[in-house]
Amino acid sequence: MLEEARLPELVTPSRTHGLVDILDRVLDKGLVIAGDIKINLANVELLTIQVRLLVCSIDKAQQIGLNWWRSDPRLTSTPVSGSLDAGVEDRLERIERQLAKLTEQRP
């Protein structure tokens, strides 16, 4: 019987491993992407879009002084004191009083 010749297995680098390394490095060091888009017509600027994107880990963001998510009431589970506008608070109190009067009037 003839034995089949076996070729050595080729070791190919995993793309996933490379992407993980790149992502880890980006999150550790940070990545800033900046760009401007301007639309002009007959030397008249019609539209300007400024794009600034920072990609980094939360630890890195806090290290460089970016922690806006801590005080954003939409992103925190505990409400920030004084987050309601005074006008909204007055309106809410008025609605609650009207509701109390309506429930008292019921037989």
Contacts of 52 (CB under 8 A, 6+ apart): 32, 33, 34
8 A C-beta contact, residue 49 and residue 36: yes
Collapsed DSSP state (helix, strand, coil) of residue 38? strand
How confident is the model at residue 96, as a pLDDT? 92
State pLDDT tens for residues 54-105: 888 888 888 888 887 777 777 777 655 555 567 788 888 999 999 988 888 7
Q: How many CA atoms lie within 13 A of 44 on its CB side?
A: 3
DSSP state of 48: E
* Segments of 16-90 assigned E as strands: 31-41, 44-55
How confident is the model at residue 38, as a pLDDT? 92
How confident is the model at residue 11, as a pLDDT? 52
DSSP state of 2: P
pTM, to two decimals: 0.41
Instruction: Give me 80's structure tokens.
Output: 């920030």
Q: 23-54: string of b/e by CB count within 10 Å (b at 16+)?
A: eeeebeebeeeeeeeeeeeeeeeeeeeeeeee
